[in-house]
């Protein structure tokens, strides 16, 4: 039993008359399954990011399924590293797209699915048809943020990564030192500078150089964290103070001065 007929089993056949497209997004290539709910799905592979090839595949699939040029197209893909740019591109071409929360997709309980596993495009196509056939609980659809909302989250996410990086550098230095039974109370600050001066002679040159390079990376992460925290505080103050918010808007919209 092919995927479309499985999808239509017991469902309202009014889902026919549209083209359904499921994307399996990979780093180097995308796999597409395309069908109308009547015929077996057509499959093709395009280079990752090649939207022109995607629209060509959709046009060919419509012709194969004897659908009109303006027949509605419904598509889906799993939320992942590509984010929402593809969703916006599809919507701009009058394609109704769903970005699906991977964690919400039903799975065979006997086969545990890793978080990083991707469903193949045929399975997604079947579920897409079931969704439009009335099974709205087949998955959870992600809420699509605006580009501005996405951009506002950047600082918070970068801060999270930098704090993790700072901890990793600190832990690495401690791990290298404990090889020689050296256990500083804290990595960084004035106390560290004094401690390092006292104990550096106990280390061989290569290890000493490695720790110093690691400490440089730690300092860089710490500086960037401080800069982003200051930025967050200023933006928070601007949100709370209408005058500051207005001046911030003027700064953002003001044209750049040549040579500045």
pLDDT in tens, 57-89: 999 999 999 999 999 999 999 999 899 999 999
pLDDT at res. 119: 67
pLDDT at res. 190: 87
When computed from its CA atoms, the radius of gyration of the chain, rounded to whole angstroms, is: 27
pLDDT at res. 15: 65
pLDDT at res. 104: 82
| Distance, CA of 135 to CA of 108 (rounded, Å) | 17
* 42, 64 Cβ separation under 8 angstroms: yes
pLDDT at res. 255: 37
Q: Which residue in this structure is represented by tokens 């918010």?
A: 245
Measuring CA to CA, how many Å separate 131 from each of 48, 79, 136? 26, 17, 5
| Distance, CA of 164 to CA of 26 (rounded, Å) | 27
3 state SS of 33:
strand
pLDDT at res. 105: 78
**Pairing relation of β-strands 29-35 and 42-47?**
antiparallel
For residue 16, the surrounding DSSP H or E stretch is none
Task: Enter the DSSP assignment of 141.
Answer: B
Q: How far is CA 1 from the centre of its chain?
A: 34
| Distance, CA of 222 to CA of 202 (rounded, Å) | 27
pLDDT at res. 107: 58
| Distance, CA of 73 to CA of 97 (rounded, Å) | 8
Q: Is 19 exposed, middle or buried (0-12, 13-18, 19+ CB in 10 A)?
A: buried
**Pairing relation of β-strands 29-35 and 73-78?**
unpaired
- pTM to 2 decimal places: 0.69
pLDDT at res. 120: 87
Phi, psi of 179 (to 5 degrees): -60, -25
Phi, psi of 255 (to 5 degrees): -65, 150
* 18, 72 Cβ separation under 8 angstroms: yes
| Distance, CA of 11 to CA of 134 (rounded, Å) | 7
Task: Enter the DSSP assignment of 21.
Answer: E
In which residue ranges of the chain is pLDDT below 50? Answer: 1-13, 108-111, 113-117, 247-260
Q: Which residue in this structure is represented by tokens 């799905």?
A: 41
3 state SS of 151:
helix
| Distance, CA of 51 to CA of 47 (rounded, Å) | 9
Q: Which of 187, 192, 158 is nearest to 173 (CA)?
A: 187
């Amino acid at each position: 039993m092919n995927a479309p007929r499985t999808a239509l089993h017991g469902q309202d056949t009014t889902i026919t008359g549209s083209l359904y497209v499921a994307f399996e997004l990979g780093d180097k290539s995308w796999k597409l399954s395309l069908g109308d709910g009547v015929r077996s799905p057509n499959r093709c592979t395009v280079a990752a990011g090649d939207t022109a090839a995607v629209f060509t595949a959709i046009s060919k699939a419509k012709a194969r399924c004897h659908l009109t040029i303006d027949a509605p197209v419904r598509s889906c893909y799993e939320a992942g590293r590509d984010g929402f740019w593809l969703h916006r591109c599809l919507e701009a071409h009058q394609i109704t797209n769903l970005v699906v929360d991977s964690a919400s997709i039903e799975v065979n309980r006997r086969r545990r699915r890793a978080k990083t596993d991707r469903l193949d495009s045929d399975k997604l196509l079947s579920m897409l048809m079931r969704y439009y056939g009335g099974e709205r609980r087949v998955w959870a659809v992600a809420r699509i943020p605006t580009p501005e909302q996405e951009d506002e989250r950047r600082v918070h996410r970068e801060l999270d990564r930098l704090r993790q990086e700072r901890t990793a550098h600190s832990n690495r230095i401690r791990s290298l030192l404990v090889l020689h039974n050296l256990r500083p109370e804290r990595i960084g600050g004035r106390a560290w500078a004094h401690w390092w001066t006292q104990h550096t002679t106990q280390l061989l040159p290569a290890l000493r150089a490695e720790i110093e390079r690691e400490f440089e990376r730690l300092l860089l992460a710490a500086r960037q964290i401080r800069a982003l925290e200051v930025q967050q505080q200023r933006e928070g103050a601007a949100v709370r103070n209408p005058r500051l918010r207005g001046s911030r808007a003027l700064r953002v919209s003001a044209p750049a001065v040549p040579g500045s």
